[in-house]
Amino acid sequence: MFSHQRTPKQQQARRNLRHPTRQEEIDEKLMRQALKEPDARTLTPGVLIQLQRTIGNQAVSQLIKTKTQASVIQRNPVKDRLLHFVQDQQSGQVINTLAQHILSVINALEGGQWATAYNLLYDRAIAKIAGHKINIKALYIDDTNKTQKEINSEVDRAISKGMYFSGRLDLPEVAILPNNDFNNAITPDTDATLAKQVLPVVLEEWIHMFQHQIQGYLSRATYDFEQTPEVQKNQMLPEGQGRWNMNEVDIYAIYRDLGWASVLTAFKARYKERQRFEVFKIVTRTRQENAQRGLVIGRNRH
């Protein structure tokens, strides 16, 4: 069966997994120092690569241009929290590795590096480090005489098969076949539209695995929402009788924090708790804006 075989890309990703060289260890040490005291003069090519994987190309470019000791790296709150887990030795190797892996996927997706993101997301070797196997749920869609809306619906049904289980990731793998031609298959690693529809769902299952490892959430907003009376009341319900899954809220909160507006609509529609979280964020933002306007008015009166 396909689910028990590695694709050539996955085999290459496994071969790429190796122990760091002495130079890489040195670069990693310099990277950590650079994040504490950014100075473009200390950045070797190896350090730049490590920084690009963690904070993204734009922040690295900014760092190089400024060439000052000022703290110019403005990290996203989700990336900042992941970076904490990358650096925190007390978290252990599994969490360190998964945090770095998820950061790399996020940066690849944001950079439009679909093939890189694809290879990372189906990397069995990394999943194995966390004690999980990857089970591929493959679906080939013949687009003959189908509208784009019909094709999108079939893709949505395919990616709904993505699931996290303790010890296993069920990951959807989707290909669209023009006129049922396998030789010209459209896949997420080469097509931006399909990548944006499929790969965030695959990443979701990796994040669920990470949530299980840290026994918590990645987005601070999820913790804030969890403390509201609405959620506290809901969490008193028996499991299976309407009790919300806060891990699913966290997925939406993470993508919201990352600013992935193009995927939020689809992700919000899948769970009622995500819809309630969005209401919570809107209300919170409105209160903050009203409070700020009140402070301005108060100052003007004096």
Q: Is this model's pTM higher than 0.75 or not?
A: no
CB 182 within 8 A of CB 104: no
Low-confidence winner among 20-34, 180-194, 269-283 (lowest mean pLDDT): 20-34
Average pLDDT over residues 147-158: 93
pLDDT at 93: 93
**203-235: per-residue pLDDT in tens?**
999 999 999 999 999 999 999 999 999 999 999
**Per the structure block, which two tokens stand in for 191?**
């097509």
Work out the mean pLDDT of the chain and round it to a whole number.
80
- pLDDT at 290 > cutoff 60: yes
CB 31 within 8 A of CB 50: yes
| Alpha helix positions (H), 111-260 | 114-121, 124-129, 148-159, 192-214, 220-226, 229-234, 246-258
Average pLDDT over residues 250-259: 94
* Domain residue extents for the chain: 2-214, 220-295
pLDDT at 154: 94
pLDDT at 264: 82
* Between 266 and 78, the higher pLDDT residue: 78
| Percent with pLDDT over 70 in the chain | 72
Beta-carbon neighbour count of residue 171 at 10 Å? Answer: 26
Element (DSSP H or E) covering residue 30 = helix 22-36
Cα 275 from Cα 143, distance rounded (Å): 32
The model's confidence at residue 297, banded by pLDDT at 50, 70 and 90, is very low
Cα 239 from Cα 220, distance rounded (Å): 24
**74-125: per-residue pLDDT in tens?**
468 999 999 999 999 899 999 999 999 999 999 999 999 999 999 999 999 9
CB 162 within 8 A of CB 135: no
pLDDT at 12: 47
Average pLDDT over residues 13-26: 46
SS3 assignment, position 275: helix
Q: Which residues of 252-265 are buried (b: 16+ CB within 10 A; e: fewer)?
A: bbbbbbbebeebbe
**Per the structure block, which two tokens stand in for 98?**
């998964």
Sheet containing strand 163-165, edge to edge, reads: 133-142, 168-177, 163-165
Cα 99 from Cα 173, distance rounded (Å): 23
The model's confidence at residue 302, banded by pLDDT at 50, 70 and 90, is very low
SS3 assignment, position 245: coil
| φ, ψ of residue 160 in degrees (nearest 5) | -70, -10
Beta-carbon neighbour count of residue 205 at 10 Å? Answer: 23
Task: Characterize the bridge pairing of strands 168-177 and 133-142.
Answer: parallel
